[in-house]
Amino acid sequence: MTGQRSWGYGRDDGPSEWHKSYPIAQGNRQSPIDIVSARAVYDPNLKPLIISYESCTSLSISNNGHSVMVEFEDTDDKTAISGGPFENPFRLKQFHFHWGTKHDQGSEHTIDGKPFPCELHLVHWNARKYATFGEAAAAPDGLAVVGVFLEIGREHANMNRLTDALYMVKFKGTKAQFRSFNPKCLLPLSLDYWTYLGSLTTPPLNESVTWIVLKEPIRISEKQLEKFRMLLFTSEEDQRIQMVNNFRPPQPLKGRVVRASFKA
């Protein structure tokens, strides 16, 4: 991989510039995409998604300058997803969010052209086939990311523990202990999903992700989303830049097929 170049979501270092340092940005299986529901192909062979987050092993919450992330111990398959389009279980490594300034943008995936105010990404890796997360992230079948849309509605009780911790990681490069948080509480009731082959949505943009985008959004309150918008892209010593609009716009489909686990 090339040396870590700095990238972000600003005018000069944002998604439209990423291809200069990361040419794969113009590749054939880039993410996110706009999911056109009428064009998704129902596939009766897709198995139901099985989410086993029983022994939950969250470690820390951190601000990496691009998003807020919760990391997990990933030494065994106890916190994993399986079923769906997968042969092997995929282990949970981390989850993070993308959000906007206002309600009319923020998600990375869109449905029939419509964005949501926020999107949660749960990032998993294929530990049966690859020895490390890094090795999996470089392989075409190495990662599985579950995308969950968030919309504004009533308060999400289980989200409070997370939004209440955000003040500890306001600045870029900060990290705090965040144990025994089970992200199962952030999933919608229905696990109906769309799936397609794509990429990481942030540099290095590796084309290593099988995406699982859940059809049913979850709801959080305006107040809860505001706490995400209080985070900063910048470190304590820098001039403060509010962390908002940290999303990549939809990329061309380039002949890919989106499959649906449910009949439209």
How confident is the model at residue 4, as a pLDDT? 57
Q: Would the pLDDT of 228 be above 90? A: yes
How far does the chain reach from its first CA to its final CA, in angstroms? Answer: 41
Residue 168 Rama label (left phi>0; alpha psi -120 to 50; beta):
alpha
Concerning whether 156 is annotated as a catalytic residue, the answer is no
Q: Would the pLDDT of 2 be above 60? A: no
> How large is the average pLDDT for residues 231-235?
97
DSSP helix/strand/coil, 204: coil
Question: Pick the catalytic residue: 19, 66, 103, 156?
Answer: 66
Q: What is the residue extent of each domain of the chain?
A: 22-260
Strand ranges, E, within 34-168: 34-35, 41-42, 49-53, 58-63, 68-72, 79-83, 90-99, 110-111, 118-125, 143-152
Distance CA 181, CA 159 (A): 10
Is the four-CA dihedral 100, 17, 254, 50 of positive or negative sign? negative
Compute the half-sphere exposure of residue 67: CA atoms within 13 Å on the CB side of its CA.
23
> How large is the average pLDDT for residues 93-102?
97
Q: Would the pLDDT of 33 be above 80? A: yes
How confident is the model at residue 1, as a pLDDT? 39
**Which CATH superfamily does the domain covering 22-260 fall into?**
Alpha carbonic anhydrase (3.10.200.10)
> How large is the average pLDDT for residues 205-219?
98
> How large is the average pLDDT for residues 55-82?
92
